[in-house]
Chains A and B, each alone.
Chain A
Amino acid sequence: MMEFLADLTLLADSTLRIATPLILAALAGLVAERGGVVDIGLEGKMLAAAFAAAAAAAVTGSPWPGLAAGIGASVALSLLHGYVSISQRGNQIVSGMAINIAVAGLAPTLANFWFQRGGQTPLLTDESRFSAISLPFADTLKDVPVLGALYSEIISGHNLITYMTVFLVPAVAWMLYKTRFGLRLRAVGENPEAVDTAGISVAALRYQAIIIAGILCGLAGTVLSTGLGAGFIRDMSAGKGFLALAAMIFGKWKPVPTLLACLLFGFVDALQGRLQGVSLPLIGEIPVQFTIMLPYVLTVIILAGFVGKIQAPRASGIPYEKDH
């Protein structure tokens, strides 16, 4: 029983860790799509941010320039995507895929050029990354039954960006539903003609949405390489940008349900890590390749489970043309 509880605590702890980049990326996708721009390029932006953050942190020895570089790289790609989708009225899905593939090539190229480590960045020391923060009294409260363990094992000991994420979810929800900007943003994703008629620039609003998405996605990438990991590794985003999109769809483009979907994905991913090499009753040991599949299979099942319930922002993915 004790062992089971300890397992559960560990599982909850790694769920939060793993869910952090997913939540941030899903919020990014949510803001962009609520504003009418589909962002399939989350994956690439995350990877770019992960690389830029790790590279800057490795060179300067501090995570803060890394954070700035990560956000900068992601916002720059966001603006490129915005230029294609908003100004050029190009195909947004294709543009996102182009960014994903270009970054998958560019990031290891630059890593190889700067650090000569076969497309990786050097291992980051604890000072140069966002390492675990022990919350006050975590040690003293450790022996208090249940609550103490909950506090010191699950709530304490995460990196700064994970704690930031806890505040960012309500912040994004507040921005979307309680501010004038949020109202306009949602309107531009549903009915851009109306926004245009009211004399508000559709393009400007969409650019703002995509910049916010860029910042959030930059945080997601930064936490990958400087929070969860200690350096950039080739293809380290491993489909997380797409999982985030699936979580956003599962969460029906709403912040809190999206958060819950991300936690579910985080949990399944944490579970698959724990299941590796474990012999289960009746089934026996599951081959590692099948446990690795779990999050991806779950994504497909979740996407398939929705029939007729999906209601994307109506104008999402459709370029706005003033004179038609």
Chain B
Amino acid sequence: MAFTAQKMPWWADGILLPILNLCAAFVVSGLVVLAMGESPIEVLSLLIEGAFGFEEGISYTFYYATNFIFTGLAVSLAFHAGHFNIGGEGQAMIGGLGLTFAVFLVGDFSPVVSVLAAIVGSALFGAAWAYIPAYLQAKRGSHIVITTIMFNFIASALLAYFLVGPLQRPGGQMPESADFPEAASLMGIHELLAGIGINFEEGPMNVSLLIALVCAVGVWFLLWRTRFGYELRVVGQNPEAARFGGISVSKMTIMAMMISGALAGLMGLNELLGDQHRLVGGFTQGYGFVGIAVAFMGRNHPIGIVIASLLFGALYQGGSEIGFEISTITNDVIVMVQGLVILFAGAMPYLFKGMLAKIFALSRRNAVGEGETK
């Protein structure tokens, strides 16, 4: 079966298709909501109201979106190299651990030093956690999907160990560290806006959002404007051709996974440095997995990923607001939507693509036919 996808205009492939996939996921979720005796329309309007209806809600939407930009970029970078990194969750946890070590190490010296140390610490630890599965895949052929999943479980246990052991707040009972030094903090966007005279309600949205956007630009530049990125994509598209062309597939696998792990690790900046100001057990909350849905939804392109992140940010924030009104609609529903988005956007890209291509081929034929008769 030949798909005439290439003959579709760019907007059909890049915009219409993701929207159709998203709609399909929404329709199925709507049916589940309907089966639970609630009105999908009411749920949707509560969701939009919760996500964008008031300034604090907007702040939370962008705050969640920041996490998803980091983890989405992480999944997509590995995917461009032909690997499915499901370990974003664990890489973010260990990244958070690295961030914590780094900020306590530099102490209260200066905010700039603290933030730089946090960036280096989280990226390094995230990359290191991705290095082991990557090495095992490249050199020993161990299935990276299974090893990264295992590393999520191991990371979670390791984090728990540190938080009830060496890193636990002195005298505390909760699985959390002591508060970070005063200097280790990222400015809220509302403070930044206040600086230029705009009044915006206080919220968790912070400067990490800007760092995430810089990362998105960086990933774009790396993938499409450098030799390294070109080689990485060749490895992902056709490892045989890459090997023939003199590119070391195992080296690219390891490099791509390490950058991917570093990006996932940076998620801690937003959660820990931007909001919590301490290391908390389970702070990743499954955001590493959201990255998978975000990457497919955004068609593995940084611009798409930023847009998809915003969408999922809205889903998370709006979703948690729905819980207050309708007790049966919890964040679990949002997890289900995530799975459905991965199913439609990631696993069945041809479902609507084939259909769309036919429609476009048909309309083109009609147009040509009309032209001939005239």
Give the interface of A toward B (CB within 8 A): 40, 84, 88-95, 97-106, 108-109, 112-113, 119, 239, 242, 245-246, 249, 287, 289-290, 292-293, 296-297, 299-300, 303-308, 310, 321, 323
**Nearest CB to that of B341 among chain A residues?**
A98
Bound-complex Cα distance A310 to B158 (A): 30
B1-33, CB under 8 A of A: which get 1 and which 0? 100000000000000000000000000000010
Q: Which chain B residues in 147-179 approach chain A with CB under 8 Å?
A: 147, 149-151, 153-154, 157-158, 160-161, 164-165
Q: Contacts A88-B348, A95-B343; is A303 near B161 (CB within 8 Å)?
A: no
**Nearest CB to that of B338 among chain A residues?**
A101
Interface size on B, residues (CB 8 A): 50
**Nearest CB to that of A298 among chain B residues?**
B150
Bound-complex Cα distance A299 to B152 (A): 13
Question: Chain B nearest CB: distance from A90 CB in Å?
Answer: 4
Minimum-distance CB pairs A-B, first 4: A102-B339, A105-B335, A105-B336, A101-B339
Whether B136 pairs with A242 at a CB distance below 8 angstroms is no
Cβ contact of A104, chosen from B32, B293, B339, cutoff 8 A? B339
Q: Which chain B residues in 219-269 approach chain A with CB under 8 Å?
A: none
Q: Contacts A102-B340, A303-B142; is A289 near B160 (CB within 8 Å)?
A: yes
By a CB distance below 8 angstroms, the chain B residues around A97 are 84, 86, 145, 292, 342, 346
Whether A88 pairs with B141 at a CB distance below 8 angstroms is no
**Nearest CB to that of B334 among chain A residues?**
A105
Question: Chain B nearest CB: distance from A242 CB in Å?
Answer: 5
Whether A293 pairs with B154 at a CB distance below 8 angstroms is yes
By a CB distance below 8 angstroms, the chain A residues around B142 are 300, 303-304, 306
By a CB distance below 8 angstroms, the chain A residues around B350 are 88-90
B111-139, CB under 8 A of A: which get 1 and which 0? 00000000000000000000011001001
Bound-complex Cα distance A246 to B145 (A): 10
**Nearest CB to that of B132 among chain A residues?**
A300
Bound-complex Cα distance A307 to B348 (A): 33
Chain A-chain B contacts (Cβ-Cβ < 8 Å), number: 155
Whether B151 pairs with A321 at a CB distance below 8 angstroms is no
By a CB distance below 8 angstroms, the chain B residues around A93 are 84, 145
Bound-complex Cα distance A119 to B328 (A): 10
Cβ contact of B347, chosen from A90, A104, A289, A296, cutoff 8 A? A90
Whether A90 pairs with B336 at a CB distance below 8 angstroms is no
Whether B338 pairs with A296 at a CB distance below 8 angstroms is no
Bound-complex Cα distance A33 to B337 (A): 28
**Nearest CB to that of A321 among chain B residues?**
B1
Whether B339 pairs with A108 at a CB distance below 8 angstroms is no
Cβ contact of B146, chosen from A99, A113, A245, A306, cutoff 8 A? A245
For the complex with contacts A102-B336, A242-B146, A303-B146, 5 further pairs of A-B residues with Cβ separation under 8 Å are A94-B84, A94-B347, A293-B157, A293-B158, A306-B140
Q: Which chain B residues in 328-374 approach chain A with CB under 8 Å?
A: 328, 330, 332-340, 342-343, 346-351
By a CB distance below 8 angstroms, the chain B residues around A95 are 343, 346-348
Whether A106 pairs with B336 at a CB distance below 8 angstroms is yes
Q: Contacts A109-B330, A112-B330; is A300 near B151 (CB within 8 Å)?
A: yes
Q: Contacts A93-B145, A108-B332; is A103 near B339 (CB within 8 Å)?
A: yes
Q: Contacts A239-B149, A296-B153; is A105 near B338 (CB within 8 Å)?
A: yes
Whether A296 pairs with B339 at a CB distance below 8 angstroms is no
B289 contacts partner chain A, Cβ-Cβ < 8 Å: yes
Greatest chain A CB density within 10 A among B36, B86, B160, B336 is at B336
Question: Chain B nearest CB: distance from A89 CB in Å?
Answer: 7
Question: Chain A nearest CB: distance from B320 CB in Å?
Answer: 14
Greatest chain B CB density within 10 A among A88, A100, A101, A109 is at A101
